[in-house]
């Protein structure tokens, strides 16, 4: 029977081509939109991860307790050794050292006297060298307002608003004043390579970005680091994997009671990011469910109309001796075959378009050139395991349900009525 129905659908394109096409389009939209929404909702998390929290972060235990205060006197010692151990123990992650600090920027005049001063929040990253992935990760090249990126030690970036307030231009020299790791006074001359815009008011009012080697020289932190951040090479934050990784690392370090021993924290264990992670998951679920429900109604309606239009055929089949129950179940079998074919085609098509958006992204930086460091310039989708089977809900269930409901009319209507429809 199933073979008979399959051959019939293959030969009669009017009964298969359009329904399969409708189902495939609906499933394609469902799969693609879910992947797009998942990627879009994760952009806020990813931007916070890239700039501040990382997917995971390693700090000394004492530093972790006061991390909001940037206590560099509690920094992690032997950072190069720990970095090597992390790269060996967790090869699926990209690791990078960072230092955060506070200080004062002093801009001299032509006589070397102070022309302007202002408090500043400092961010030191691995900007130079062969393994400098931070420049690309942070998207600094797309956020330059004036000047250029640092290309050698001794060069730094200032926020555009802060630079204008100080009256400093790219190429000018300024002095970073602060406190060293050991509590002494730090004075370090830097050249302004360029200015950037963060898009966050508190950071635009006073921020400096420099290479971590300059920060170590200025703050007397040779082979010390405030934190070592790790990023998944897949490019997306996975909370479950990050939590397992942190638990595994911390279990290995639990034998020591040293407050300066390292501790690893996942992104959702830092600050208020646990709320953002849960919120992102919930909103992604809600939006996806609404879209799936809408597509289910469309495909259900298509199956319903397809069944109603076949009453003339049903009348003929009953006239030659088929029972109503037999006709009804054959229609259900046909809808299963149509739904399955359309769902498979739609899933592969939706995954293909989602893969293109995930791999290459949609560059919208031209619409907001130099607008913000904290806003993504490329829109990307994210394919998850759910996308491989999500389309079966609207594709299969809705098509079968629509056919089932329309087929109920076969039992409710008199045989004579079906014969009459056959005549018309």
Nearest residue to 374 (alpha-carbon basis) of 43, 41, 34: 43
| Confidence (pLDDT) at 192 | 93
**Helices H, strands E: what count in the chain?**
16, 14
Distance between CA atoms of residues 314 and 407, nearest Å: 10
CB 192 within 8 Å of CB 115: no
| Confidence (pLDDT) at 99 | 92
CB 184 within 8 Å of CB 164: no
Residue 302, H or E segment: helix 273-308
| Confidence (pLDDT) at 370 | 46
| Confidence (pLDDT) at 412 | 59
Chain-centroid distance of CA 245 in Å reads 19
Mean pLDDT of the chain: 79
Q: What is the pTM of this model?
A: 0.70
Coil vs helix vs strand at 4: helix
Tell me the domain boundaries of the chain: 2-44+276-423, 56-236
Q: What is the pLDDT of residues 116-169, one digit of tens each?
A: 889 999 999 988 876 667 887 887 877 888 999 898 999 999 998 899 999 899
Q: What are the backbone angles phi and psi of residue 275, rounded to the nearest 5°?
A: -65, -40
| Confidence (pLDDT) at 318 | 62
Low-confidence ranges of the chain (pLDDT < 50): 1, 4, 369-371
């Amino acid at each position: 029977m199933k073979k008979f129905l399959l051959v019939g659908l293959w030969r009669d394109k009017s009964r298969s081509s359009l329904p399969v096409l409708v189902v495939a389009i609906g499933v394609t939209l469902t799969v693609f939109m879910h992947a797009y929404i998942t990627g879009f909702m994760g952009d806020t998390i990813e931007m916070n991860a890239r700039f501040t929290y990382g997917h995971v972060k390693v700090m000394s235990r004492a530093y972790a307790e006061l991390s909001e205060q940037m206590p560099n006197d509690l920094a992690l010692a032997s950072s190069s050794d720990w970095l090597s151990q992390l790269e060996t123990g967790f090869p699926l992650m990209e690791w990078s050292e960072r230092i955060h600090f506070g200080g004062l920027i002093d801009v001299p005049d032509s006589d070397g006297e102070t022309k302007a001063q202002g408090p500043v929040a400092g961010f030191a990253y691995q900007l130079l060298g062969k393994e400098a992935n931070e420049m690309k990760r942070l998207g600094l090249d797309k956020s330059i307002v004036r000047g250029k990126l640092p290309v050698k030690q001794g060069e730094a970036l200032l926020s555009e608003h802060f630079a204008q307030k100080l009256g400093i231009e790219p190429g000018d020299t300024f002095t970073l004043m602060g406190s060293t790791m050991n509590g002494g006074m730090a004075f370090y001359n830097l050249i302004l390579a360029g200015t950037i815009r963060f898009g966050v008011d508190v950071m635009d009012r006073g921020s400096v970005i420099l290479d971590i080697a300059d920060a170590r020289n200025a703050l007397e932190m040779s082979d010390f680091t405030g934190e070592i951040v790790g990023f998944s090479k897949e490019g997306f934050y996975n909370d479950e994997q990050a939590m397992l990784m942190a638990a595994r690392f911390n279990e290995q370090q639990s034998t020591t009671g040293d407050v300066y021993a390292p501790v690893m924290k996942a992104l959702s264990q830092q600050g208020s990011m646990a709320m953002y992670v849960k919120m992102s998951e919930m909103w992604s679920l809600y939006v996806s469910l609404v879209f799936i429900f809408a597509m289910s109604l469309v495909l259900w309606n298509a199956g319903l109309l397809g069944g109603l239009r076949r009453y003339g055929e049903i009348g003929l089949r009953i006239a030659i001796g088929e029972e109503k129950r037999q006709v009804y179940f054959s229609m259900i079998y046909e809808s299963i075959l149509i739904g399955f074919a359309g769902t498979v085609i739609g899933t592969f098509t939706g995954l293909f378009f989602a893969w293109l958006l995930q791999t290459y992204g949609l560059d919208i930086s031209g619409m907001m050139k130099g607008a913000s460091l904290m806003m993504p310039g490329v829109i990307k989708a994210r394919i998850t395991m759910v996308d491989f089977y999500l389309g079966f809900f609207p594709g299969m269930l809705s098509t079968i349900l629509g056919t089932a409901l329309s087929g109920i009319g076969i039992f409710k209507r008199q045989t004579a009525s079906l014969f009459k429809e056959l005549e018309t």
